[in-house]
Structure 1
Amino acid sequence: MASIMTNTSAMTALQSLNQTNKQLSITQARISTGYRVAEAENNAAYWSIATTMRSDNGALSTVKDALGLGGAMLDVAYTGMNKAIEVTKEIKNKLVAARQPGIDREKVQAEIDELQNQLLSIAETSVFSGENWLSVDSSATGYNSSKSIVASFSRSGGEVSIGTISIDLTTSELIDTADKSGILDKEDTTANGGVTYSVLTLDISSVMDTDEDLEDLEQMIAWVDDGLLDMTTAASNLGAVKQRTNMQKEFIVALMDVISRGVGTLVDADMNDESTRLQALQVQQQLGVQALSIANQNTQQILSLFRG
């Protein structure tokens, strides 16, 4: 039936053209943004997952920074410990040299004094970001012998958890001004002379060549050697923690990349597909416009029926 009130062909052509324009708009948006799922309305489930994972990736980036900061603190403490070991070795060498009868021990002590001052300087200046792990005051408010470095962030069943790497400072403290329990200020007393000393305070200037004094000197040498062993163990522990920190940082970086790829799989647009679809839709749009134009011309043909 030919009707001037209802143009069925034009209505069908218009619906088809509108649908094509809608698909074309979606494809153009994907090409412009690079996302297949840019908003929740595109795919609520994928958008929700991607948003959560991006948030977690941001937290992992902060964990990476925390590991870098913790690694720097460990580097400072490890460097200070190594330097302290070198200086303490020199003190031990001087003491061994002073064991030789007839040597001027006052001059040897003058050298030891400077080495002791250097040890004190190393311990007090091994500071990073206000933290000193070699020289402490265990009586200070807020003191904690256990330090922790944020090492991980994870989500399970909607619950988040933070993992840390713990460091026990009691094994690496060189000086504790509160109770003298550090490796360098820990005290001993000579068996014969009854002189109390530490690596930082020992004094051999008054040591004579008597059997008792030489025995006390050998005791000092053994005490310094014990300190060296303790510092070597402390340096090994710090090095092991530093290695773990570096490995964890590398893992966090790799994990962030994997998460980014996973999110991309969910929401990124495939530009090869979108470019092909764009060309096809542009052709469909042109054909739809042509079809609508033809359908609109059908009503003009009715006028010919009333012409004489």
Structure 2
Amino acid sequence: MTSIITNQSAMTALQSLTTTNRNLSQTQSRISTGYRVGSAEDNAAYWSIATTMRSDRGALSTIKDALGLGSATIDVAYTGMNSAIDVTKEIKNKLVAARQPGIDREKVQAEIAELQNQLQSIAESSVFSGENWLSVDSSATGFNATKTMIASFSRSGGEVSIGTISIDIGAVKLFDANDQSGLLDAEDTTANGSLEYSVSNLDISSFTDTDDDLEDLEQMIAYVDETIGGMTTAASNLGAIKQRTKLQGEFVSALMTAIDKGVGALVDADMNEESTKLQALQVQQQLGIQALSIANQNSQMVLSLFR
């Protein structure tokens, strides 16, 4: 039946063209944005997962930056500790030389004094971003002997947790302005002269060749050697923490890459597939327009019946 009220052919052609235009618009959007799932209406589940993982990826980026900052702080402290060890070894060498009877210990002490000044300079200069782990004041407001830096971010069951790496400053400090409990300012007392001394302030200029003075000098040598051992242990601990920080930074970088890949697999558009669809849909659109035009012309053919 031919009707001028209801043009079924035109309605069918229009419906097909509308569907083609909708698919074409979707494909063009995917090509222009690069996303297969660009909003919740595309795929609510995938969009929700991708949004959460992007948020976590941003947190991991912050973790990576914090690890870089912490690694630099550790590196400065480690460098300072190594330099202090070298200078302390020189002090020990001077003390061993001063053990020789008849040597001018005042001149030796002058050299030791300069080395002691160097130790102080090294400790005070080992600063990064306002952090100094070698020269501290434990009585200062807000001081904490345990330094922590964020090292990880994780999500489990919707709950997030932050992991940290802790560094005991009390085990690596060289000077403490509060109680002289650092490795270099901690004091000992000679057995014979009852002289209080530390590596940073010992003075042998008044020592003579008496048995008591020589025994006290040997005690100082042993004490400095023991201090070098403590500093070596502290440097080893800093080195171990530095290595852990480096490995954690590499892991966080790899984790960020893995998240990027996972999110991409969920929401990124396949450009090869979408470009193929675009060409096919453009052809379908042209055919749909032509079909609708033909269907609309069919109604005009009814006029020929009244001529």
Shorter-chain TM-score bucket reads: over 0.9
* Distance in 2 separating the partners of 1:279 and 1:233: 69
- Name 1:48's counterpart in structure 2: 48
Write the distance in 2 (CA, Å) between the matches of 1:207 and 1:108.
11
How far the C-alpha of 1:43 sits from its partner, in A, is 1.0
Number of the residue aligned with 1:293: 293
For 1:130-279, list aligned pairs within 5 A.
130-279=130-279
Alpha-carbon deviation of 1:247? 0.2
Task: Give the 3-state SS of the residue equivalent to 1:37 in structure 2.
Answer: coil
Q: Which amino acid aligns with 1:56?
A: D
User: Counterparts of 1:194 and 1:303 in 2: how far apart (Å)?
Assistant: 129
Q: Corresponding residue for 1:28?
A: 28
Residues 104-152 of structure 1 deviation map (CA, whole Å, 9 limit, x = unaligned): 0000000000000000111111111111100111111111110011100
Match of 1:71 in 2: 71
State the secondary structure of the residue aligned to 1:152: strand
Structure 1 position 170, deviation (Å): 1.2
Whole-angstrom CA distance in 1 between matches of 2:122 and 2:161: 37
CA distance in 2, matches of 1:298, 1:202: 113
Aligned-partner residue type, residue 187 of structure 1? E
Determine the C-alpha separation between the residues in 2 that align with 1:119 and 1:258.
46
| Shift, 1:301, TM fit | 1.2
**Superposed displacement of residue 259, structure 1:** 0.1
Say whether 1:94 aligns with 2:94.
yes
- Aligned equivalents of 1:125, 1:106: Cα separation in 2: 29
**CA offset at residue 296 of structure 1?**
0.7
Q: How many residues align?
A: 307
In the TM superposition, residue 300 of structure 1 has moved relative to its aligned partner by: 1.4
Cα separation, 1, equivalents of 2:159 and 2:148: 22
Residues 208-241 of structure 1, C-alpha deviations (whole Å, 9 max, x = no match): 0011100000000001001100000000000000
Write the distance in 1 (CA, Å) between the matches of 2:66 and 2:7. Answer: 70
Cα distance in structure 2, aligned partners of 1:295 and 1:39: 37
5+ unaligned residues in a row in structure 1: which ranges? none
Equivalent residue, structure 2, for 1:82: 82
Mapped to 2, the partners of 1:26 and 1:284 lie a distance apart of 15
Aligned-partner SS, 1:144: coil
- Alignment partners' CA distance in 2, 1:164 and 1:186: 30
What is the DSSP-based 3-state SS (H/G/I as helix, E as strand, rest coil) of the residue aligned with 1:107?
Answer: helix
Equivalent residue number for residue 304 of structure 1: 304
Q: In the aligned structure 2, how far is the partner of 1:141 from the partner of 1:29?
A: 58
Per-residue deviation, 1:306: 1.2
Give deviations 1:38-64, integer Å, cap 9, x for gaps. Answer: 111111111111111001000000000
TM-score normalized by the length of structure 2 = 0.99
Q: Which runs of 5+ in 2 are unaligned?
A: none
Matched residue, 1:62: 62
**Alpha-carbon distance in structure 1 between the residues aligned to 2:190 and 2:25:** 90
Distance 1:124 1:276 in 2: 67
The one-character-per-residue Cα deviations of 1:166-194 (angstroms, maximum 9, x if unpaired) are: 00111101011111110000000100111
Corresponding residue number in structure 2 for 1:105: 105
Secondary structure of the corresponding residue to residue 153 of structure 2:
strand
Q: Please show how residues 112-131 of structure 1 align to structure 2 within 5 Å.
A: 112-131=112-131
Instruction: Provide the rounded CA distance (Å) in 1 between the counterparts of 2:220 and 2:6.
Output: 113
Identical residues among aligned pairs (%): 77
TM-score by length of 1: 0.99
User: 1:128 and 1:28 mapped to 2: Cα distance?
Assistant: 51
Counterpart code for 2:141: T
Aligned AA for 2:139?
S
Give the whole-Å Cα distance in 2 for the aligned partners of 1:110 and 1:242.
Answer: 36
The one-letter code of the counterpart of 1:210 is: T
Cα RMSD (Å): 0.6
After TM superposition, the runs of 4+ consecutive aligned structure 1 residues lying more than 4 A away are none
* SS of equivalent residue, structure 1 residue 301: helix
